[in-house]
Amino acid sequence: MPTIAVGSDHAAIALRRAIAAHLTGRGLDVVELGPGDGEKSDYPEQARLVAEAVVRHDAELGVLCCGTGIGMSIAANKIAGIRAALVHDPVTARLAAQHNAANVLCLGGRLLAPEYATELVDAWLDTAFEARHQRRLDMIAALERAGD
């Protein structure tokens, strides 16, 4: 079973926990990262922890949650090798996997109910990447290398 790193800042602790429990219920190995109750945390640091776990292959995929998901997606995409996608509905969740091979999913804890967020996670996990999009992923990787 793949390992999934799930992280959040203080704004989305409840969503992180709900997603981690859901993934464990699916039989997946979960590494949960982020603050505990009452602890403050900055989303760039949590994004870095999950993104680096994915890049190091400590986890195959990552899920990041903050208030809106926007900050997490911006921060995670600064890590070479990460393709983080902010999604709000099942269509974008599926397309993040199918077209973009997103290896990190970003969600807004202040915007999404946990039940709906887990539907989005399932849509992403249950959708395979279509190889016809590989050329574009190679172009993205070239952009990363050019920025080094």
pLDDT of residue 94: 98
pLDDT tens figures, 10-33: 999 999 999 999 999 999 999 999
pLDDT at 1 over 80: no
pLDDT of residue 52: 98
pLDDT at 148 over 90: no
Query: How is the chain split into domains, by residue range?
Result: 3-147
Q: Is 99 a catalytic residue?
A: yes
pLDDT of residue 41: 92
Q: Is 65 a catalytic residue?
A: no
pLDDT of residue 107: 99
128, with CB counted inside 10 A (0-12, 13-18, 19+), is exposed
d(CA 51, CA 80): 9
pLDDT at 43 over 90: yes
Mean pLDDT, residues 116-122: 98
Tell me 34's DSSP state: S
Q: Looking only at Cα atoms, what is the longest distance across the chain?
A: 46
Looking at 3.40.190.10, 3.40.50.1970, 3.40.640.10, 3.40.1400.10, the CATH number of the domain 3-147 comes to 3.40.1400.10
12 close to 70: Cβ distance less than 8 angstroms = no
Cβ neighbors of 134 (< 8 A, separation 6 or more) are none
Provide the whole-model pTM: 0.95
pLDDT at 85 over 80: yes
State the residue for tokens 């699916």: 26
Residue 137, token pair as written in the block: 């992923």
Helix (H) or strand (E) holding 29: strand 29-33
Catalytic residue among 66, 88, 106, 133: 66
